[in-house]
């Protein structure tokens, strides 16, 4: 990403005068089109799908308010997305006052930033869209948007074009086809705005989000229909068990510690909570917080309150039941949470999200509310279910013993590092730069490819770490076992920052780009998945900070004249043939990095000016956990089913 530096104040540039006439005022939706990344995060695939979330969130708010029972999302063959609900319908009566007096409320909502029913009044008690950018931004970033509103038996329609400009005033188009109120928004993303990665929606990405919405809103019917050629599909999500079904879904590929799912809910004044939890026999915790339907991937006060109470309740039960003896130390929170899957969802009147991404909930009152209710209701559940409660305690005690063993193993690794001088693995070819922001670590499959990569690298900024064979599958091993594995030890030592999500610090990492470089075959895919599992489970802050990448060595080569041309994949090959219809030379399929000499590896895969990298990110934490368990766990049928369902979207499959 290019960074443009601002010129110092002392440098004269442009006009010598600087007056009111030089101040630019962007009217209406112009700011959105000028700086789309400020409003939707990016103009890549994440930003494209953010448009759907903004419209869907409005419908979800209607459901949370008790007025909507069904939301339908349709991907049409013409590239548009339609979101339809049976809520109250966006108001269509004339706006009462101010500069927008006389315009329909619908037009104001769609053409004015920060206009809506969630900033005051009694339209919504709770809202997930309160801090969102709103449907007006969707309008601004669309080449066309059509709004159809059903209210009181009449259908109203208004069309907007060219980034949010009304094509005409709102019109009555006849009687409502259905007997219910509702809103339908159909939008066509502007290909000029989303030029980098195109305007084709990915079904898998949409389905993951919609399923979560259905879990969090008990009984809400969420319908997805894909009408695009070659992708036709229809899926309906509706869960009468709500978040209890969510926990069961997340644990389906794992072995549950017991069949029951503990759950409880409570409400007071302007806030409510719903919590469901179940343990599995695995070694990783998954606690997922939601506030007004928004995923708070960094947790917040509601998750803090739950964790504090959970630790207290389980220790209290362990003492009273004899699971912990009088002289034994209390269990730590991490011991108790090993193998736990929990959903903590709250609704509140004035949510205070930290940061523009809503990643963390800051309301202090919700912490004490969740803590108080968990102390009471979870203790009752454990007393009423002693068989399950004793299994929880037994697993936590085993986790505590493993924690102590892992601590000893960590110390042994540190002692070994200290005794061996510089401490870096022998096979690491480090870079000269000591600045992590400039430094890249390529993890390369095999010593042979590692040698080629050493020759191809820029020694100033690029380090090479060859790994031999396939590293340990950390999904099935505790940390103490992991630390005995030679390849895992080399990764931990080379990267720095520690190991284990309780200890690892991304700011101490020696490289801000860790790039997995493996062959484009089955073995290479397996190695990539094993490495991604390791980073997600043991160095997750690296993933969350955007430090993990996958190199994209080309899959094909061909000759144009006397020059060799490399093509990334089948899609690139098809585009090449479309641009060069008379091309007669054969295409060579490159299966291994060893087939390239160092000059080819540099120019196609390692040179920052010409390479392509995929950045690994975590969009939906709960679904990422589920995918990781399915792909790397013991349930073969779940893994097979997942691969079959998602094969066609594999180019967009991110953790």
Beta pairing, strands 613-615 & 548-551: antiparallel
SS3 53: helix
SS3 437: helix
SS3 44: coil
CA dihedral defined by 563, 568, 572, 576, rounded to 10 degrees? 0
Q: Which of 380, 521, 586, 597 is catalytic?
A: 521
Distance of CA 268 to the CA centre of its chain: 31
SS3 544: helix
Q: Which of 226, 285, 430, 445 is catalytic?
A: 445
Is the four-CA dihedral 309, 312, 317, 320 of positive or negative sign? negative
For residue 221, the surrounding DSSP H or E stretch is strand 221-226
CB 476 within 8 A of CB 632: yes
Long-range contacts of 595-603 (CB under 8 A, 24+ apart): 596/452, 596/553, 597/452, 598/452, 598/453, 598/455, 598/456, 599/456, 600/564, 600/566, 601/452, 601/453, 601/456, 601/553, 602/456, 602/457, 603/566
The tokens 């006397």 sit on which residue?
A: 562
Q: Which of 519, 600, 623, 654 is catalytic?
A: 519
For residue 171, the surrounding DSSP H or E stretch is strand 171-175
Residue 582 falls in which region: left (phi positive, over 0), alpha (psi -120 to 50) or beta = alpha
Q: Which of 351, 271, 338 is nearest to 310 (CA)?
A: 338
Q: Which of 523, 607, 619, 634 is catalytic?
A: 523
Residue 519 bears catalytic tag: yes
Q: Concatenated DSSP letters for 75-143? A: E-TTS-EEEEE-SS----SBP-SGGGTTSBHHHHHHHSTT-STTSSTTS-SS-SSTTS--HHHHHHTEE
Q: Please give the sequence-ordered ranges of beta strands (E in DSSP) within 280-380, or none if there are none.
A: 286-291, 294-295, 340-348, 353-354, 360-361
Residue 654 bears catalytic tag: no
Q: Concatenated DSSP letters for 469-508? A: SPPP-GGGS-HHHHTT-HHHHHHHHHH-S-SSTTT--GGG
Residue 521 bears catalytic tag: yes
Alpha-carbon distance 389 to 409, whole Å?
A: 30
Residue 570 bears catalytic tag: no
Distances (CA, A) of 55 to 40, 49, 84, 132: 13, 10, 9, 10
- Computed on alpha carbons and rounded to an integer, the radius of gyration of the chain in Å comes to 27
**Residues taking part in catalysis:** 445, 519, 521, 523
């Amino acid at each position: 990403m290019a960074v443009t530096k601002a010129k110092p104040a002392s440098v004269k540039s442009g006009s010598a005068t600087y007056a009111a006439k030089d101040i630019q005022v962007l009217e209406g939706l112009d700011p959105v089109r000028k700086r789309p990344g400020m409003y939707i995060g990016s103009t890549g695939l994440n930003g494209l799908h953010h448009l759907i979330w903004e419209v869907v969130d409005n419908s979800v708010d209607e459901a949370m308010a008790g007025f909507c029972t069904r939301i339908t999302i349709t991907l049409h063959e013409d590239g548009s997305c339609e979101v339809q609900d049976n809520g109250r319908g966006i108001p269509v009566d004339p706006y009462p006052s101010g500069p927008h007096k006389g315009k329909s409320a619908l037009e104001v909502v769609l053409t004015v930033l920060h206009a809506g029913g969630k900033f005051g009044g009694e339209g919504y008690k709770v809202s997930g869209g309160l801090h969102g950018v709103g449907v007006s931004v969707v309008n601004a970033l669309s080449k066309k948007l059509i709004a159809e509103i059903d209210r009181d038996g009449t259908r109203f329609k208004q069309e907007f074009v060219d980034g949010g400009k009304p094509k005409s005033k709102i019109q009555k188009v006849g009687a409502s086809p259905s007997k219910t109120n509702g809103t339908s928004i159909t939008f066509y993303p502007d290909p000029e705005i989303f030029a980098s990665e195109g305007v084709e929606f990915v079904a898998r990405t949409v389905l993951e989000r919609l399923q979560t919405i259905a879990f969090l809103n008990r009984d809400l019917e969420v319908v997805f229909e894909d009408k695009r050629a070659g992708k036709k599909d229809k899926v309906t999500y509706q869960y009468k068990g709500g978040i209890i079904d969510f926990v069961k879904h997340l644990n389906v590929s794992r072995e549950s510690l017991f069949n029951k799912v503990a759950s409880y809910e409570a409400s007071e004044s302007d806030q409510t909570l719903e919590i469901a939890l179940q343990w599995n026999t695995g070694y990783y915790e998954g606690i997922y917080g939601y506030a007004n339907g928004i995923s708070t991937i960094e947790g917040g006060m509601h998750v803090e309150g739950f964790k504090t109470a959970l630790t207290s309740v389980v220790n209290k039960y362990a003492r009273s039941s004899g699971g912990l003896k009088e002289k034994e130390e209390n269990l730590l929170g991490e011991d108790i949470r090993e193998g736990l899957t929990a959903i903590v969802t709250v609704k509140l009147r004035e949510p205070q999200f930290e940061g523009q991404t809503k990643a963390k909930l800051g309301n202090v009152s919700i912490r004490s509310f969740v803590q108080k209710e968990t102390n009471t209701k979870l203790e009752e559940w454990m007393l009423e279910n002693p068989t399950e409660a004793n299994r929880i305690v037994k697993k936590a005690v085993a986790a505590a013993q493993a924690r102590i063993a892992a601590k000893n193993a960590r110390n042994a690794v540190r002692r070994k590092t200290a005794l061996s001088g510089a401490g870096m693995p022998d096979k690491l070819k480090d870079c000269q730069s000591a600045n992590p922001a400039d430094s890249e670590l390529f993890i390369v499959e095999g010593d042979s490819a590692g040698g080629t990569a050493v020759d191809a690298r820029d020694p100033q900024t690029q380090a090479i770490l060859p790994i031999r064979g396939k590293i340990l599958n950390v999904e099935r091993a505790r940390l103490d076992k992991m630390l005995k594995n030679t390849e895992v030890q080399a990764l931990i030592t080379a990267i720095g920052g520690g190991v284990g999500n309780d200890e690892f610090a991304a700011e101490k990492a020696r490289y801000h780009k860790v790039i997995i470089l493996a062959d484009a075959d089955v073995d290479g895919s397996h190695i990539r998945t094993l490495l991604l599992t390791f980073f997600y489970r043991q160095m997750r802050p690296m993933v969350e900070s955007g430090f993990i990448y996958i190199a994209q060595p080309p899959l094909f080569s061909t000759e144009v004249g006397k020059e060799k041309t490399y093509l990334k994949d089948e899609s690139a090959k098809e585009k090449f043939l479309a641009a060069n219809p008379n091309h007669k030379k054969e295409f060579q399929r490159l299966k291994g990095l060893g087939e390239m000499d160092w000059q080819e590896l540099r120019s196609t895969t390692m040179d920052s000016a010409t390479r392509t990298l995929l950045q690994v990110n975590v969009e939906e934490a709960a679904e990422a956990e589920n995918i990781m368990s399915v792909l790397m766990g013991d349930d073969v049928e779940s893994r097979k089913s997942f691969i079959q369902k998602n094969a066609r979207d594999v180019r967009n499959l991110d953790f």
